[in-house]
Chains A and B, each alone.
Chain A
Amino acid sequence: MSALDTTASAGIALSTSGLSRSFGSLVVARDINLSLPVGARYALIGPNGAGKTTLINLMTGMLPPNAGTIALGGEDITELSPQARVKRGLARTFQINSLFANLNPLEAVTLAVCERRGISPRFWENIGVNKDAIEEAYDILTKLKLGDVAYQTTRELPYGRQRLLEIALALATKPKVLLLDEPAAGVPQEESGDIFEVVASLSDDLTLLFIEHDMHVVFRFATHIIVLVGGAVFTEGSPAQIAADPGVREVYLGKRHHG
């Protein structure tokens, strides 16, 4: 039944079919079939513990699935290592900051750029000679308003800046599909707008899937919403459809209080 999903349809950037995973008796992903069209702005919502992060882990290869397949641009990537998926254009950010504490943003993003350009194995040349790579890294940083802290140790950056660096690192891999796991998690409400402005300004060819709890943000930035409950897709549709869906209200919206 899921053979259809894996066929290379030109407009689909990322798709999963029958993706399942459990931890012991706890099912965290139950037969998940999704497809993200190129350039989409999808939101993934669901209560805490619904399995949203787990789904990103499955897609990016950080967690092997028990069953199902994942296709990127029509190519089956289920068996690929996480880094091979990144090389093919599938990047992610982390819900809990996963940065290089003692590098500065310039070094960290340059590292990611060097990995993409395949120059990181070079042990014989000074990093400084790679002008293009460094400037590309610095460009990404300025685009994310991190230019002024490019030389400050990551550990010492304010939390909101660190969240932006999470995104910068992912962008340095030049992704075709970007999965953002609660990019504004833990950021005060007034700053979270800034982060989503940055997200919204990303190129239109980039396919985006983001997890977010704040429904105002979701309705503002998403063109399509997937609701995950108990590891399974509860429903999906346009923001208007989701807002009107009484079932969603009950399982999700009704239980949470967002200002």
Chain B
Amino acid sequence: MNRWRPFHRIRESFVAKISLTLISVVLVLAFLFDLMLIRLQQKAYEDENIKHGLSLVRLLAQSVRIAVFSENKQDFIMPVNSILGHDDVVEADIFNNEGAMLFSRKKQENSLAQILDNPEHLASIFKNIKEAGEMHWQTPNSFIFWWPVYFNTSPSSDESLYFEMDDEPPARELIGYAALVISKQSFSEGVRNILINTGFIVVCFLSVGIFMSFVVVRRMTRPLSNILQKVKENTGSAGVRDDLSLLSETYGGMIQELEQSFETIKELKDGLEVKVSERTRELSDRQTQLEKANLKLSETLAKLQEAQQQLVQSEKMAAMGQMVAGVAHEINNSVNFISGALPSVKRLLGDLKELLASYEELEQMPNGDDRGRDIAAIQALKNEIEFAEIFTTFEQLLANIDEGTTRTTRIIKDLKIFTRQGAEKFKQADIHSIIDSSIPFIDSKLLKGVEIRKEYGDIEPVTCLAGRISQVFLNIMQNAVQAMNGKGTLNIRTWQENGQVHISFIDTGCGIEKDLINRVFDPFFTTKEVGKGSGLGLGISYDIIKQHSGRINVTSKVGQGSVFEVILPLSPPIFPMTRES
């Protein structure tokens, strides 16, 4: 930025204008202030000198009073000389009360000559002193001071010779006058010094002040200068005019615009009132509509609740169907072990029967050459039926049958737990065995590529309705397996904490979207195709866990998986012994 503009711009720059005005005001003020200061100081200095002179003449009057009393010339010398010892004191004169000069001593020519030669003037001076107690005046080169000389008067009684008399004030009598002439030489020097000093100080302050005010004005007007710059840019370089008129024009424009704006605001305000009342009416109409809608809604809600009740019932039926399907499949599997083994057993038994018949033939034949031939035939049969491996195969088949029966027995046992739910009672149950017994009911088609990992912790038995809890676990696991769509890991973790058992099902499935996570427990909420899911599974589970005074927490990340954590108290606080109905 060009700090110091060319000189010819000064007249136009408002900064310069303000600075110049300020500086000239400061100059005038400083000049007046200087004059006043000098005047005051001079006055104070003069007063000081007069005071000093008066105290000197008073001292003189005091010290010569014995001499005046006795009118002894000799006695004057010492006190008068001591006063004349002061540098500026040039003359001392002593008179008695009749006006006769008793003593006079001077260093210069007689400044009082005129007065002393004029007895009338002198008498008037004495009269003045008597009245005012002192007198002083100035001539061009000297101060003149007068002071009366007093002396104590005689006491009135003989007793005062011996005692202090308190009540009689010390009476005094005017016995003469003392005059002192003090030259103005050092006084004028002092005044000159005052002039020089004051002038110097004022000049110093003035230069600092002018500099400071210039700097301050520049600082303060910088924002204004910026505005001005902008205005000039906007109005084009027609800125040959000076800054101040440009500024006032700009401000004028701004004020006009402001007034217009206020006008507009006022109009808008008036229109607004009308609009507000319209809106209020509309709103009240809306409200009545809303109330009507609300009534309808609550009716619908009642209907819906009814429907839900029915659906819950049908869900139960559906679950039952699913379960039956599961059970059938399982039993089928187990039976397959047995039925698969049966044809082989039959064939082996046939082979063995044939072999045994050949032996019987041989027993009944007499010994002959035929016997040797028959033994060879038996040997050939043995090779044919792989006699050596026949028993091994047999044992294998029996093991298969055994497996089939064990599985069937187990399924039936599990089914017992599951079916007993309606008439169940709260009992202490091992959560781990509940989980284990629920897993077989998961849809086995979906389970194929899924690994189930169990990380069972050390937990105490929980007082619960085991069948219902199993239903919850099955539901959660079923959802998890469904979410993984045939590939992934289901982690089941249990632990105990603060008298509560935590059961956590961690899957690596598709996960739940953030805005849906709060809705998964809502009845009928499902993301599955029509016919596949009813959306009631988690809703029912939620009710069951609540019945046990527990909680279910869900956390999930889309694409990574979900965690369903069931938390159950070791025993529900309000312990319902039976929940038949």
Q: Is chain B found bound to chain A in the same assembly? A: no
